[in-house]
Structure 1
Amino acid sequence: MTVTPVKNAVEFTSFSAKDESEIELIESLVERMGAPLMILDCDVVRNQYRALAAALPNVILHFALKPLPHPAVVSTLLAEGAYFDLATNGEVDLVASQGVPANKTIHTHPIKRDSDIKVALEYGCTTFVVDNINELEKFIPYADKAEILVRLSFPNAQAFADLSKKFGCSPDKAIEIIAYAHQLNITVRGLSFHVGSQTANPEKYVHAIGRCVELFSQVEALGLPTLHTLDIGGGFPVTYSQEVMPIDEFCAPIRHALTALPAYAQVIAEPGRFIVAPSVTSVASVMGQAERDGKTWYYLDDGIYGSFSGIMFDEGNYPVDALYWQGERFESVLAGPTCDSIDVIAESIMLPKLNNGDLIIGRMMGAYTSATATEFNFFKKAQFVILNEYHAVDSLSQVI
C-alpha cells in the first residue's frame, strides 16, 4: 500500500479507498490489532525525502524529528542518506538508538539548559543554535567543542505557525552576537532561519536568503571569521484541504536565491512535515452513536486528545471518510471518545449511515498527530503499524 496526498481535497471531504487490497489490509489489521491504528508507510517517507532532495539538490536535508519522532522514520531516512535536526535529549536518545552518526546531526533549539548541551556533546553533536547573548554565554565552557549557528527572525504572518514570533534575532543583533562570540573564542559556523510552518509562498525564503547573503558579506567586511553555513529551516508545504505548489516548482526560486551565496557556503535545511505528513493513514472505529439536533453523532475511539490533536493547533484539515464510503450521505458529526465537550473532530461532515464498529479513515496524518497525542481519560494512543520498512511491498514488516 502506498499512501499519497488527496488531490483537490476539501476539509473533511469524501474520498475512496485506493483499491480492494487497501480495504482488505486495513480490515485485516483491525481484526488482528483492534483500533485505533496509525499506518505508517515508509515508502511514502522515502518518496517525499527524494522529492525534496531533487528539488534542493545542493542542500543537506536534516529531518526535524518533532512532527513524527518514530524509530522507523529515522531508520528509513538514515538509509536514504538523510541528516537529522535535534532539539531535545529525547531526540538525541532516539537517533542514537537507531545508529545515526553524531556528525549527521545538528541541535537547533535556540534555548537550552546546560544539561541539554552536555547530553548533545556527549553524543557527539557539536553544532548548536543561539539567538541571544544569554544563550551564547552558555557555550563559554564548551568553546573548544561546539560551533554555533545564529538564528535570525523573519516574521511571516501568512505561515500557519510563525516561528519567528518565539525565536530568532534581528540582523543587527546577529552581528552583535557574532562579534561577541569572536571575543569569547566561540566558533560561529553560520546563520539559520525558519520562515514558519506550512509556508505557501517561496518568496519568504527568497527574502530571508537575500538578507543572509548580505550578512555573510557584512561579517567579512568587519574582519570577523568567515561564515560557512546557512540553514534555511523547514516549512515546506503539503496538501491538506488546499492544493499547494508541486515541490520542484515551489523550490525553484529558492534554488535561484541560493546561487548568490559564496561558492564555499554549505546550505542545510530542516524539513519535517513535508517528509512525513502524507505517510500515515489513521484508522478509528465507531464506538457508539446518537441523534442530536437532526444529525447523527458518531463517537470514535480516537479524537482531539489523540491522533486528531492537530485540529486544535496545527493545519488539521485532514481528509476523513468512512472506509466504506458508498451510498447516500447525511450531515453528521464525528466526536472523539473522551468525556470532554471539545473532543469533536468534525461538526458537519457528510457520511453514509454507519454502524457501530465501522471504520473511519484519515489521510495526511503523519505530522503533529501522534506526536502530540495524549492518553487523556486513559484512552490509549493509536498503535503504529509499519509498512514497507525494508522495501517489502504491501507487507506488514513491523508492528510497534
Structure 2
Amino acid sequence: MAHAHSVLDFHSFSAQALAADEVQLIESSVAQFGAPLLLLDCDVIRQQYRALNNALPNVTLHFALKPLPHPAVVRTLLEEGASFDLATSGEVDLVAQEGVPAERTIHTHPIKRDADIRDALAYGCNVFVVDNLNELAKFKAYHNEVELLVRLSFRNAEAFADLSKKFGCSPEQALTIIETAQAWNIRIKGLSFHVGSQTMHPQKYVDAIRTCKEVMEQVVARGLPALSTLDIGGGFPVSYSQQVMPIDQFCVPINEALNELPETVQVLAEPGRFIVAQSVTSVASVMGQAERDGQMWYYLDDGIYGSFSGLMFDDAQYPLVTLKQEGEYAPSVLAGPTCDSIDVIAENIMLPKLDNGDLIIGRMMGAYTSATATDFNFFKRAQTVLLNEHDQSCERMIG
C-alpha cells in the first residue's frame, strides 16, 4: 500500500463533537493511565451481538476471535450465550482459559498442522474445516473423533479481504472431497463459506447459500449421507467513513435464502468485525510537531505500527476527531511515532492548530487494530481500558 494509504477528510469528522461525559472519560483515563489508550466498551459488544442475533434468529453465532482476541470480549460474549470460531492453538488456549465449553466452538482454519488438530481435540473442539484432499488426509488418524465442514470458494472483489482467493474449493471439488471422505470413513458434517470481509451487498450471501443448497442436493443424489450444517461465515459490514445498510435490513434476503434450506440443516455464522469494530475508541496524544512543505505535521504516540495498523492491513478509514475544536483549520498531517517514513496515519486533513499533548480520538477502532499492532521501534502498544465489563458503569486497567 502506498504512503498515501488513507486520506481522511478530518474536518467532516470534527463536526461530530464528543459528548461532555465522553470527553470527561477520555481526559480522566489519560490522566490515570497516560496515552496512547484503547477504550474497550463491553456494552457495545453486547449491543452488536444482540443486534446480529436478532437479525439472524435461526443462526448460531460463532464469534471469530481474529479481529479482537481479548479475554474481556470472550467473557462478555460467553455471558451473552455466544459460540466461538477458532483458527489457531493460541485461540484455543484463550477460550479454554476463559471457560468456554468446547461444544460451543468450531475450528475453521482450512489449513492446519497436526499439532493444531491435536490441540483442538485435547480441548474438546471436534468440528474442523477442509477445502482440499491434502487437508482431508490429515484427519485419517482422527476419523473417529472429528466432523468436518467443506469450505467452498466464492470470489468477492468488492470485499475488504477476498478470503476466497486464499481458501475454498469449487462445488465439483467439494463433491470429490465428500466422496473421498466417505471412502476414508471420515464424517462430513456440512459446508462452509466466507464471502469476504466487510461485504456490502447481501446478495453475495444469497448466491453462496443457493449454491451450497445445490451441492447438498447433489450429495444426496450421489447416495452419500445428507449434510446437516451450513456455515455462512462472517463479513457483515459496519460503518467507517461511509454508512452501510442496517443489519436487520441487510439480513432480510439472507434469511429468505436460508429458509429455502431443509429444516434439518443447522446454520452457523462467524461474525468478527461486526461484533467488535464499534466497541473501541483510541486515544493518542501529540508528542511533537513540525511545519513541512506548508503543512503542519503532528507526531502522535500511536500510529501505523500500533493501533492504526488496520490502515495497512485492513484498508479501514477510521473516523477521527480532536478534543480541541476552536481555531482556524489548516491542511495538516497526522504521523505515528516511529522512525519509519511510512508511519503516516492521514495526510492533507483539516485541523485546528494543535499543541503538544492535545488528544486525537479514533472511532471504530475495535477490529484489526490492537490485534495487528506491534512493538516496532520499542514504542509500546496502546494500553486497553475496559468499560462496562460487568454490564454496569465500571472501568479498570488490564495489563
TM-score (norm 1): 0.96
Asked if structure 2 preserves the Cα contact closer than 8 Å seen for 1:11 and 1:319, the reply is no
- List structure 1 segments (4+ residues) > 4 angstroms apart after TM superposition: none
Query: CA offsets, 1:343-384, max 9 Å, x none?
Result: 000011111111001110000000000000000000000000
Asked if structure 2 preserves the Cα contact closer than 8 Å seen for 1:148 and 1:188, the reply is yes
Write the mapping of 1:154-193 to structure 2, written as runs, cut at 5 A.
154-193=154-193
Kindly state the Cα deviation for residue 11 of structure 1 after the two structures are TM-superposed: 5.0
Kindly state the Cα deviation for residue 286 of structure 1 after the two structures are TM-superposed: 0.4
Asked if structure 2 preserves the Cα contact closer than 8 Å seen for 1:11 and 1:318, the reply is no
CA distance, structure 2, for counterparts of residue 149 and residue 334 of structure 1:
45
CA distance, structure 2, for counterparts of residue 288 and residue 257 of structure 1:
54
CA distance, structure 2, for counterparts of residue 154 and residue 333 of structure 1:
39
The DSSP-based 3-state class of the residue aligned with 1:299 is strand
Kindly state the Cα deviation for residue 14 of structure 1 after the two structures are TM-superposed: 2.1
Deviates more, 1:321-330 or 1:54-63: 321-330
Tell me the residue number matched to 1:92. Answer: 92
The DSSP-based 3-state class of the residue aligned with 1:157 is coil
The DSSP-based 3-state class of the residue aligned with 1:346 is strand
Tell me the residue number matched to 1:14. Answer: 13
Asked if structure 2 preserves the Cα contact closer than 8 Å seen for 1:308 and 1:316, the reply is no
Corresponding letter in the other structure for 1:273: R
The DSSP-based 3-state class of the residue aligned with 2:338 is coil
Tell me the residue number matched to 1:23. Answer: 23
The DSSP-based 3-state class of the residue aligned with 1:38 is strand
Asked if structure 2 preserves the Cα contact closer than 8 Å seen for 1:14 and 1:325, the reply is no
Percentage identity across paired residues of the two chains: 70
| Structure 2 unaligned spans of 5+ | 1-7
The DSSP-based 3-state class of the residue aligned with 1:308 is helix
Asked if structure 2 preserves the Cα contact closer than 8 Å seen for 1:44 and 1:278, the reply is yes
Asked if structure 1 preserves the Cα contact closer than 8 Å seen for 2:40 and 2:281, the reply is yes
Corresponding letter in the other structure for 1:107: H
Tell me the residue number matched to 1:194. Answer: 194
- Give RMSD over aligned pairs: 1.0
Instruction: Confirm whether residue 213 of structure 1 aligns to residue 248 of structure 2.
Output: no
Tell me the residue number matched to 2:123. Answer: 123
Kindly state the Cα deviation for residue 274 of structure 1 after the two structures are TM-superposed: 0.3
Tell me the residue number matched to 1:396. Answer: 395
| Structure 1 unaligned spans of 5+ | 1-9
Tell me the residue number matched to 1:111. Answer: 111
Distance verdict in 2 for CA 1:11–1:213, change over 3 Å: farther
Kindly state the Cα deviation for residue 46 of structure 1 after the two structures are TM-superposed: 0.4
Corresponding letter in the other structure for 2:237: P
CA distance, structure 2, for counterparts of residue 48 and residue 11 of structure 1:
27
CA distance, structure 2, for counterparts of residue 67 and residue 336 of structure 1:
22
Query: CA offsets, 1:271-322, max 9 Å, x none?
Result: 0000000000000000000001111100000000000001112132000121
Corresponding letter in the other structure for 1:168: G
The DSSP-based 3-state class of the residue aligned with 2:308 is coil
Write the mapping of 1:12-91 to structure 2, written as runs, cut at 5 A.
12=10, 13-15=12-14, 16-91=16-91
Corresponding letter in the other structure for 2:364: M
CA distance, structure 1, for counterparts of residue 210 and residue 23 of structure 2:
49
CA distance, structure 2, for counterparts of residue 329 and residue 46 of structure 1:
38
Query: CA offsets, 1:8-66, max 9 Å, x none?
Result: xx754423443211111111111111100000000000000000000000000000000
CA distance, structure 2, for counterparts of residue 352 and residue 361 of structure 1:
14
Corresponding letter in the other structure for 2:13: S
Query: CA offsets, 1:138-163, max 9 Å, x none?
Result: 00000000110000000011111100
Asked if structure 2 preserves the Cα contact closer than 8 Å seen for 1:102 and 1:125, the reply is yes
CA distance, structure 2, for counterparts of residue 19 and residue 232 of structure 1:
38
Asked if structure 1 preserves the Cα contact closer than 8 Å seen for 2:68 and 2:368, the reply is yes
Query: CA offsets, 1:145-192, max 9 Å, x none?
Result: 011000000001111110000000000000000000001110000000
Corresponding letter in the other structure for 1:217: E
CA distance, structure 2, for counterparts of residue 245 and residue 328 of structure 1:
35
Asked if structure 2 preserves the Cα contact closer than 8 Å seen for 1:297 and 1:334, the reply is yes
Distance verdict in 2 for CA 1:11–1:139, change over 3 Å: farther
Asked if structure 1 preserves the Cα contact closer than 8 Å seen for 2:384 and 2:397, the reply is no
Tell me the residue number matched to 2:4. Answer: none
Corresponding letter in the other structure for 2:298: Y
Asked if structure 2 preserves the Cα contact closer than 8 Å seen for 1:72 and 1:389, the reply is yes
Kindly state the Cα deviation for residue 256 of structure 1 after the two structures are TM-superposed: 0.2
Asked if structure 1 preserves the Cα contact closer than 8 Å seen for 2:309 and 2:373, the reply is yes
